[in-house]
Amino acid sequence: MHYVDAPNVECEVRIDADPARVWELVTDIELPARFSPELQRVRWLDGADRPAVNARFEGHNRNDMLGEWRTVSHVVELDAPRAFAWAVVDPDGRFGTAIPDPRTPVATWRFVLDPEAGGTRLVHGARIGPAPSGLTLTISRSPEREEAIVRRRLDDLRSGIENTLRGIKSLAERAR
């Protein structure tokens, strides 16, 4: 798999909680920072205090290979209580030319909720690219290893997504 292929990863979990409760958790933009090994903190921008299409939030990330960096995310989908997605951009040009347009993100993240008898099936995933990112920076240093680098990044993202899903499940089921 190559970066240009827009690689993605997706994981799911069954939660014994009503979709409304799960929705409340997945639309709390600060929640993933509690479980993510990379996302450190987030905050709404432009006076926003809740998700709405085109609302923006800032994220601060840290990774052993890339150090620390800032992103800005744009809410690109909000279909309560079914889908919530945001496109991440590199506003500071940390990984190349700054491309603040959410139509050309460094990544797009999404939650999808499906009601099931007595609970909710929650799917969480990410698609990488097409804009330059820390991944493209790493690939540029060792282009002959691109497939292994992409596979490693997807494994790291999968681990973070699984941690987030376990955390959401725990919080949602505890509230019952």
Amino acid identity for residue 51 in this structure: P
With a cut of 80, say whether residue 146 has pLDDT above it: yes
Domain architecture of the chain: domains with CATH? 3-174 (3.30.530.20)
* 31-37: average pLDDT: 93
Mean pLDDT, the chain, rounded, equals: 95
Model pLDDT for residues 106-143, shown as the tens digit of each residue? 999 999 999 999 999 999 999 999 999 999 999 999 99
Give 99's pLDDT tier (boundaries 50, 70, 90): confident
Pick the closest to residue 150 from 94, 99, 89, 107 (CA basis): 107
pTM for the whole structure: 0.95
* 65-69: average pLDDT: 87
Which strands sit side by side in the sheet containing 83-89, from one edge to the other? 8-15, 119-128, 107-116, 83-89, 67-79, 56-63, 39-44
pLDDT of residue 167: 97
Give 176's pLDDT tier (boundaries 50, 70, 90): low
Pick the closest to residue 172 from 40, 34, 20, 33 (CA basis): 20
* 58-70: average pLDDT: 91
